[in-house]
Each structure stands twice: as structure tokens, then as C-alpha cells.
Amino acid sequence: MQPYVIRPPDAARRAANVPDPRRARTRFTWAAAREGLDGLPGGAGLNIAHEAVVRHTADPARADRVALRWLDRTDAVHDLTYRDLDARTARFANLLTRLGVGPGERVFTLLGRVPALYVGVLGALRARCVVSPLFSAFGPQPVRERMHLGGAAVLVTTPHLYRRTVAPVRAELPHLRHVLLTGGDPAGGGEPGTLDLDALLAAEEPVHTIGPTDPQDPALLHFTSGTTGTPKGALHVHEAVVAHLATARAALDLRPDDLFWCTADPGWVTGTSYGIVAPLVVGATLLSDQGEFDALRWYRTLEREGVTVWYTAPTAIRMLMRRGERGVPALPHLRLVASVGEPLDPEAVRWTARVLGRPAHDNWWQTETGAIMIANLPADDIAPGSMGRPLPGVTAALLARGPDGRAAVGTHGAVHVLHGVAEGELALRAGWPSMFRSYLGAPERYAACFADGWYLTGDIARRDLDGRYWFVARADDVIKSAGHLVGPFEVESVLTAHPAVAEAGVIGTPDPVAGELVKAFVTLSAGEAPTEELRAELLTFARRALGAVAPKEIEFADTLPHTRSGKVMRRLLKARELGLPEGDLSMLEVAR
């Protein structure tokens, strides 16, 4: 059975950066994509900051284009041109050199969406340091753990975040030589053992020459949070910028005249790859909003600023859906809506198509991949619920699984690739430019991610007749019930298609006969009451759509537990169901 699809208008398809995705997938090469970048003068290599900032200043028209449009908490607008950003990042790079911070040393940022974040990240890359952004809502222990593992030499943060998060653990960070504070009160005296970044930058020269940078030199260090064990530090290199550019053009349809808004927090990989690097490499204007999520503010920002490409998360879309359809402004400038961070359920795709006038284009990637790997391209038909097809230059496959649900790897490292319509562990052929090069200090952990030339993602997916991929579950989230392997997301998607359900979280609960039974927790839409009649209706609704893998129990909840970035925390639901102490789940509460 062919899935229902949403077809883009012919004019939009023709105008896309990749108007013929099928042809592009057969002709694309990463070597050709590399030609879209300048490289350092004199063949001195490839540097992310040069491609994102410096090269644009060679053309006066591009130099005076707005690079960063920052909205502060009061909604005031502050613009920085590419020329401004070049001068500020040059000052930061010069400051690092004066402080004795050399190439390869680690510069951490603990900042929200403020100009100092963009200056610090790009300035450190100019100085050929390795940049590691941290989530500003972390507590002291997650920050200490990541900075200790990463050997942080420099931290850029604010006085408030320093006092709250870093000062309590400063003595446990022996590698940390410099703490640079921004946005403080110059008359306030500062914090002991810190430096005033704003005053120091004012004394530096606004001109800087980037030294030779090998494309394989380390550039970005992103930590991924697990539910057990230490965080994994995924290390990426300057060559990743090739993928940042190619995927921004293909999956996000970005162009130099775009006003691009990525709502991802800058402490995560999306907030760096597409919240800083990619739009600036394209030469677009990047919108950054310091304010927190508020539906009215977001609608006002989309309308007033004339956002043309909006990259957001399923949770944000669902929050807009819960607010309802009244008062949604016309958005004539908005050309593309894209979503990432967790699977986008079909109802959310249909809602954006109906209410915003443009369907949300889901895409898939991971911290380890460094860039978008699978997407619903702007010129592709969208099958709501699908994460799309592999991007040009990306080779994906499904691998046969063993009893543990993961890809079965033979004694000599061989795997079995499934063809046609199939379900298995999603794998990518290794070798794309933004692929992570190591887990910091964990070579065995890194080696275990690869088999037979494939990167093993740990995600279970299925592929349909048209070559689209559909997310099923994380391998360790799969529910094994009476011989069935049940993906929680599939059940959640069905439940949220019911008009009474606002959100759902699905787990497996122990059962002596079936192994596990499927249980769903649901929050209800405004105006709905949690009655036994509604519970029975939802069970029947799910059974008709899902058959044997439908939930056997539904529990109504006022709210569901979420990570800071909005994902439903299934493991916390399961821990509560099993009566486990929540104190043992501290790492879950700061997971991506």
C-alpha cells in the first residue's frame, strides 16, 4: 500500500536548490561539493571560520550583508554584518593567542543565544582551537564531567552561569586556565579567578590571519548524553564544513538572501551545525532569539522578521498545535519549515501544511553524523511520518538484527544488508566529511560503532517501496511483546492522530507471559476529560490501526516528562512505572 503523500507545487519544485533529487543522488560527489568552498588562501587548508565569515568580506556587497540578527529578551533587534563578525571573531582569536591558548586546545562555551556565543565559537575556530558548546541549563556536575573529559583550557560564560554552575566545581577542573566572562557589570568587580571578556576584546586588533589548517584537524567536540555511563565526546574536524554547506543547500534549501531561524539550543549539535555554521557558510542571515519559547512571540517573530526558512523541533510544533489555530498569522515569506531532534508524527506534518501553509519537512541525523543524513527534500513528495530518503552523497542501508535487536555482526565483522522493503538497524556507509572521527578517550567505544565499513546508528528503521525511511525506535527502546518488536514512536503516532490526544509516551511493562506489554501515557487536548469511556475509545482506536502491537493499557497524565530540548523521556516513564528512585536518573534529566 502506497503512503499518502503531500506534493510540492511544481513552481516550488523547480525553484528548489535540488529540483531533481533522484538525479542529484546519482551525480553528487563530495569532491564537487568541496568546490563550493574557498579554502584558505595559498592552499593553506580548510578552516570552518574562514568559510563562515572571512571569505564573505572579500566582496564589499557580501561584507555589508547582515550575518547575525539577534533579538534580545526585550524583543529589540541588533544586527551584525559579516564585516562586524569578522572584526569581532578576529579580536577573539587574537585574545586566545595572547593568553597562550594554542591550536588544538579546547575552548568551551556555556552561553545562551547571545552574540558572544557566535563570536566565541567562530573566533576559537579561527585560532584553530577545538570548540565544545555546553547546554546552559546544565547543572554543575554535567558541566564538570564534560569539561574534565574534554580537557577544557578556556571557558566562555556569563557571571550568573559561572556562579551557579562552574564556581562550585572549579577546583575539580585542573586543565581550566582561563574563564572569560561576558555581559557582566564593569563596575561590579567580577568573579575571583576570571577575566572580563568584553574589556579584553576591546583592546585587541580587529584583524587576524588564520594559520594553516589541515581539513582533518579537530574543530568541534560535541557530547552526547546517555542514560548510563559517561557522556560520549564526539570529535569532528574542519572538513565537516563541506557537509554543512551541501546539506544546508539540499535539505534546508538555504540561499544567500534567506533569513534563517534555527530554534535549537546552541549547546547541542544542531545549534552549532545549523544554528551557527551552515547558514553563515551559505552567506545567509542567521536569526537568533534570546527569548524562551512562547507561541505568540514565535509567530510574531516569523511574521515581523520575514523568516524564509525555519528549522525547529517536533516538540515546538506540538506546542503550537496545542495552542490551536486561532490567531495564526499569514506568513507569506516563509518558504520552508523543517524539523529535527526526534521523529515528527504524521499529524504534525498535516497540521503545518494546513495551518502554516507549508508541510514540515522531517529529517534525521545524529551528533555522530555531524550533519543531516536523511531528509524530505524540498522537491520531494512528503509521506507524513517518514524521515525521507538519504541525501546526495549519503549511502544508507538496513542491517539484519540479532536477538538483542542490534545489527548482527559475524565473527569476522560481516553484516547482512537487507534489500527492498525491510526493517533493521539503520547504517550509513562510512566516509562522509562530517562523520565524527573519534569518541574522545574511548577508542573501543568508537570502534564498536562500525562494522564492515558501515556506521551503526543504533536506530531501528524500516524502508518502503519508494525508498523512504521510517523511524521505528532506538534499538534499546524497542518493546518485545509476545514475539513482536514494537517501536514506541509508531504507537505514539497513532494515538496522537486521535483528536482528544495532545501527546503520548509509550513504554513496555514487564509481563510474565508476553515478556512486555505495551503501555501508553497520554495527555489530553484542551477541553477533553479523562473518562473511562475515552480510555476505551482510545484503546479501540489504537487496536484498529495497530492490531496486535496496540497498547494494552492507557494511563492519563497531566504532563509527560521531557528533556530540556522537549523529547518525551520514556525511560523516566518506565522508571516511575517500575517504582525506581528518580534520583538514579539524574543523567536522563539533562539528556538531549
Confidence of residue 185 (pLDDT cuts 50, 70, 90): low
Share the mean pLDDT of the chain: 91
The mean-pLDDT minimum among 366-380, 428-442, 571-585 falls in: 571-585
Asked if the model's pLDDT at residue 416 lies above 60, the reply is yes
380-410 pLDDT tens trace: 999 999 999 999 999 999 999 988 778 999 9
Residues 211 and 89 in one domain: yes
Cα separation of 136 and 134, whole Å? 6
Residue 145, number of CB atoms within 10 A of its CB: 17
pLDDT at 487: 74
Residue 3 lies in a domain: no
Asked if the model's pLDDT at residue 222 lies above 60, the reply is yes
Torsional sign, CA 125, 130, 135, 140: negative
- How many domains does the chain contain in total? 2
Residue among 466, 508, 298, 279 nearest 376 (CA): 466
Asked if the model's pLDDT at residue 476 lies above 90, the reply is no
367-381 pLDDT tens trace: 999 999 999 999 999
Residue 469 lies in a domain: no
By residue range, what is the domain housing residue 532? 480-590
Residues 229 and 309 in one domain: yes
Residues 309 and 421 in one domain: yes
Confidence of residue 431 (pLDDT cuts 50, 70, 90): very high
Residue 122 lies in a domain: yes
Residues 454 and 485 in one domain: no
Asked if the model's pLDDT at residue 460 lies above 60, the reply is yes
Residues 384 and 433 in one domain: yes
Rounded mean pLDDT, 489-518: 87
Whose grid coordinates read 469511556? 533
Residue among 131, 138, 130, 132 nearest 168 (CA): 138
pLDDT at 137: 82
Q: Does residue 443 sit in helix, strand or coil?
A: helix
Residue 568 is placed in which grid cell? 518525551
Q: Identify any residues that bridge with 261 across adjacent strands, giving them in sequence order.
A: 287, 310
Cα separation of 25 and 159, whole Å? 49
Residue among 474, 510, 492 nearest 591 (CA): 474
Cα separation of 439 and 233, whole Å? 5
Question: What proportion of the chain, given as a percentage, has pLDDT over 90?
Answer: 75
**Which comes out higher in pLDDT, residue 480 or 381?**
381
Residues 190 and 267 in one domain: yes
Name the pTM for this structure: 0.85
49-59 pLDDT tens trace: 999 999 999 99
Rounded mean pLDDT, 186-190: 57
Cα separation of 203 and 186, whole Å? 15
Asked if the model's pLDDT at residue 269 lies above 70, the reply is yes
Confidence of residue 9 (pLDDT cuts 50, 70, 90): very high
**Which comes out higher in pLDDT, residue 511 or 279?**
279
Residues 541 and 452 in one domain: no
Contacts of 174 (CB under 8 A, 6+ apart): none
What single-letter amino acid sits at 212? P
Residue 524 lies in a domain: yes
Residues 200 and 347 in one domain: yes
Q: Identify any residues that bridge with 218 across adjacent strands, giving them in sequence order.
A: 237
Among 463, 493, 525, give the residue marking a domain's end. Answer: 463
Asked if the model's pLDDT at residue 448 lies above 70, the reply is yes
**Which comes out higher in pLDDT, residue 490 or 228?**
490
Rounded mean pLDDT, 442-449: 95
Whose grid coordinates read 542529484? 24
Q: Does residue 431 sit in helix, strand or coil?
A: coil
Rounded mean pLDDT, 42-66: 97
Asked if the model's pLDDT at residue 586 lies above 50, the reply is no
pLDDT at 518: 92
Among 463, 493, 526, give the residue marking a domain's end. Answer: 463
Residues 409 and 526 in one domain: no
Asked if the model's pLDDT at residue 231 lies above 90, the reply is no
**Which comes out higher in pLDDT, residue 572 or 211?**
211
Confidence of residue 484 (pLDDT cuts 50, 70, 90): low
Residue 139 lies in a domain: yes
Residues 316 and 189 in one domain: yes
pLDDT at 398: 98
Residues 381 and 413 in one domain: yes
Q: Rounded to whole angstroms, what are the CA distances from 453 to 59, 232, 316, 389?
A: 42, 21, 36, 20
Cα separation of 289 and 261, whole Å? 9
Residue 201 lies in a domain: yes
**Which comes out higher in pLDDT, residue 514 or 70?**
70
Burial class (CB in 10 A: 0-12, 13-18, 19+), 29: exposed
pLDDT at 584: 39
Residue 216 is placed in which grid cell? 582533518
| C-beta of residue 520 within 8 angstroms of C-beta of residue 551 | yes
The mean-pLDDT minimum among 108-122, 140-154, 470-484, 554-568 falls in: 470-484
Residue 84 lies in a domain: yes
Dihedral angle, C-alpha 123, 128, 132, 133, nearest 10 °: 20
pLDDT at 474: 78
Q: What is the CATH number of the domain that holds 359?
A: 3.40.50.12780
Q: What is the CATH number of the domain that holds 574?
A: 3.30.300.30
Rounded mean pLDDT, 412-437: 96
Question: What proportion of the chain, given as a percentage, has pLDDT over 70?
Answer: 94
Residues 489 and 340 in one domain: no
Asked if the model's pLDDT at residue 585 lies above 60, the reply is no
pLDDT at 310: 98
Residue among 234, 571, 551, 192 nearest 371 (CA): 234
Residue 1 lies in a domain: no
- Residues composing the chain: 592
Rounded mean pLDDT, 241-260: 98
